[in-house]
Amino acid sequence: MSDLSKNVLPSNRGKKQKIRKSNKRKLSSTNWIKRQINDPYVIEANKLGYKSRAAFKLLQINEKYNFLKPNRKVIDLGCAPGGWLQVAVQKVRSTENEVKVIGVDILPVDNIPGSKTFIGDINDSAIDKKLIDFLGDYPDIILSDMAANVIGHKQTDHLRTTQLIEIALDFTLKNLKKNGTFLVKTFKGGTETELLNIMKKKFNYVKNIKPLASRPESVESYTVCLDLKG
């Protein structure tokens, strides 16, 4: 896999591809396929060997805040399919002999050299212990790109999303090293006021950011929390 650390924007700007119409395929499925095959981030991710276009989101956020530095230890919450793990491994220079990047998800993840993944729920205290025991220390960085499956009911989707943010923040406040970094997926308007206030009390710097790789029509954004207080 190529190193994209110096190129956080896709190079592909080719002619749009068309797909054949099918009576068996729903319009929503056709539109999704059309968007995927013409998405420059999807094309570039495939070319460079990234598990998903989400790798570009982390690359772009890190380009601005530069928290993924060599030798820092990282835990990625909700790590499937592994795009963020790949970026973290590159940036902190994690190796098979000295793994500094680990991830956890309820879904299995293909092996990514330089990382270790666990199947489990971060609400389970046994998983907490397993992650920290494997690292041999508390992490310097905790990442969360977790998102709830939407059902189309705005209030329900909002509550599910907020709950995931709360779970990730709770895990972070229990396990992140002092002066550490927390990056979490949020949504339009940022997190709930209560959660955002907690972040601002616990970290010296808190900022919402929407990377270019996040689709313009998407309500997602990210909250970067730097320098955890003692």
Of all helices (H) and strands (E), which one includes residue 156?
Answer: helix 154-175
Is 185 noted as a catalytic residue in this protein? yes
| Terminal C-alpha separation, the chain | 38
Of the residues 51, 57, 185, 210, only one is catalytic, namely 185
Q: Which two tokens stand for residue 17?
A: 């591809």
DSSP string, 166-217: HHHHHHHHHHPPTT-EEEEEEETT-S-HHHHHHHHHHEEEEEEE--TTS-TT
SS3 87: helix
> Taking a C-beta distance cutoff of 8 angstroms, is the pair 215, 189 a contact?
no
Beta pairing partners, 115: 101
Q: Which residues are catalytic?
A: 185
